[in-house]
Amino acid sequence: MNSVTNKKALIETALISTITSLFAISFSYIPVLFILIFLIPVPYMVITTRHNIKHGLIALLISSLLIGFLTDIVFVLFIILFFGPLALVMGHLIKRNTDEVSVIGIGALISILTIFLTIQMISMIGGFNVIDSLSVMINEAIELQMETLTSMNVQVSDIQGFFDYLLMLFPSIIIIQSLFLTVINYYGTIAILKRLGFKQHTLPQFSHFKLPKNIIFGSFIILLLSYATRFIDGIYTDSLVNNVLIIFIFVFFIQGLSFISFFLKKRGVYKPVRILLIILILLISPLLIFISMLGLLDSLMDMRKLRQK
């Protein structure tokens, strides 16, 4: 019986690996599909959850070989480094019925570590600083377009200031991107597992998403420690505080969106309309701070009474 089960698992692993490889290879020939690259971990997470981490690793290796033969080694390394650890660990945690906040949090942490370690490795091997090189490239591009910008009455100093600010926020951008990546892959994996008949894995309702109850206290301590770095030489306190604030604004923004979804659902608004309204809110940038404040209040006062339940 076990041998038959193992054979079925290996056949399923090989099949999904092949399909995933074709999907990844298509990025080279249809560039517009590259925006879907962040979904690459989903098949490996499904395999790991349905079977075990060994089958997930086999799927990753088969895909890497197929992609390597038909594309190039750089793309293969990109998939292995950025998506491999994330997919295997998150799949294993889902299999163990770990709660969604822990799965997303651990997945985001792994994603952040792999990105920063990869950047550090590139800097060490290449003998240059990636961020400094990126800054030089941006300044050179602005200088090349200086005449065009001047003719459009655009201040070059404003453009340079904007990109310098983005580079300062580079760590928080990576962290937010990692959170987004893990959330999308988590919900995508659970949705597929539900379709495959895994009843123990139900798709969490976004309207019931909530941050840990100690998030307010933790945020206050982190901000306090960030401000305290003013008394330590060699640390750019303003950059650190700005990055921390951006991360907290994003985190409470997610909670705020969840609160709005909960309120709309309670009012009997149909699901397609709720989704449309959430998308519209995402597109209206001035609402960002307001929704983040709403998420902060919900975390502080538990306005949805979810913790009581």
Domains of the chain by start residue, with CATH: 1-200 (1.10.1760), 205-309 (no CATH)
pTM for this predicted structure: 0.78
Which residue, among 13, 92, 79, 9, has the nearest Cα to 41 in the 3D structure?
Answer: 79
CA 8, 14, 18, 23 torsion-angle sign: positive
Q: What own/partner pairs with CB < 8 Å and gap ≥ 24 does 270-276 have? A: none
Residues 154-167 have pLDDT tens digits of: 666 666 676 777 77
In the chain, the amino acid numbered 138 is: I
| pLDDT at position 90 | 92
| pLDDT at position 89 | 92
Burial call 185-215: b when 16+ CB within 10 Å, e when fewer = bbbbbbebbeeeebeebeeeebbebbbeeeb
Residue with tokens 């692993």: 13
In the chain, the amino acid numbered 180 is: F
Report residue 1's pLDDT band, with 50, 70 and 90 as the boundaries: very low
Average pLDDT, the chain: 79
Residues 163-209 have pLDDT tens digits of: 777 777 778 888 888 888 888 889 888 888 888 777 666 666 777 87
Find the length of the chain. Answer: 309
Which residues are CB-neighbours of 303 under 8 A, at least 6 positions away?
Answer: 259, 297
Pairwise pLDDT comparison (297 vs 124), residue with the higher score:
297
C-alpha–C-alpha distance, residues 238 and 245, integer Å: 11
Rounded to an integer, the average pLDDT of 37-44 is 86
Which residue, among 168, 162, 136, 135, has the nearest Cα to 154 in the 3D structure?
Answer: 162
CA 290, 291, 297, 303 torsion-angle sign: positive
The backbone region for 99, taken as left when phi is positive above 0, alpha when psi lies in -120 to 50, beta otherwise, is beta
